[in-house]
Amino acid sequence: MRLRDIDDFLIFKGTIGWSRKSARGYADALRAFFGYAAKCGWCKPDIGEGITSPRIYAQEGLPEGPEWKDVQRLLKATKGNSAAALRARAVLFLLAVYGLRSGEISRLLLSDFDWRSETFTVNHSKRGGAQKYPLLREVGDAILEYIQKARPRCSCRNLFLTLKPPYRAIGGSALWKITSRGMQAVGIRCRRRGPHCLRHACATHLLEQGASLKEIGDLLGHRDFRSTSIYAKVHLQQLRRVADFDLGGLL
């Protein structure tokens, strides 16, 4: 193991979407491990001492995502009849319209959808617990088309599956590729291109439309009001009170 190997690893993770905060956490952990390894005589002491953590800048934690007009272009451009295209379209609709997290997408089951009442249930990653959402027609149509034409027939009951056997629930890496490739295909320029940037775009769009922070937090499944209030720093001038929240006005 060389120090250059660790530097290359952290640089590579940055190219596939890691934030500086994530890279800093891993660098700190690696520095501690190699410091211990050097005391045990497993490696040279200069490896741990040479690992540097990325600098975290002020306000770096502010949410960042594409403009809503670009999100609309992304959704309209996701076409095709291949299994990959049908899966990508359904995934992108759920990410953009409801602001779901990657883990929440991965855990969705076929049984979470009540087609008669036009609702679906999400098990939140951080807040915990289940929450029911209204299923918008365009989103429902995209999901239904994926199930009928593209989803493999297998014993796994997760909604979104891998394209090749052994079939299993889709993971975070595949979700990142779906989002990143879709944004790149339509020319969306954004420093972050993973699923979370569509979550930020959803929240910012709702704020621009006049939704309250509580309403946005309820939709996104935030446990703490402070998690939602960060969006006020991004579009503080557009924050205003509203009486009703119309989910149907998202698209």
pLDDT greater at residue 132 or residue 245: 132
Domain with CATH 1.10.443.10 in the chain: 68-250
Locate 7 and state its tokens. Answer: 């530097």
Say if CB 114 and CB 131 are below 8 A apart: no
The CATH code belonging to domain 68-250 is 1.10.443.10
Q: What value does the mean pLDDT take over residues 44-68?
A: 73
Phi, psi of 200 (to 5 degrees): -65, -40
Beta bridge partners of 132: 121
**Number of CB atoms found within 10 A of residue 34's CB:** 23
Both ends of the chain: CA-CA distance in Å?
51
The pLDDT value recorded for residue 162 is 97
The pLDDT value recorded for residue 112 is 97
Say if CB 92 and CB 146 are below 8 A apart: no
pLDDT greater at residue 38 or residue 1: 38
| Residues acting as catalytic residues | 101, 126, 196, 199, 222, 231
pLDDT band at 37 (very low <50, low <70, confident <90, very high): very high
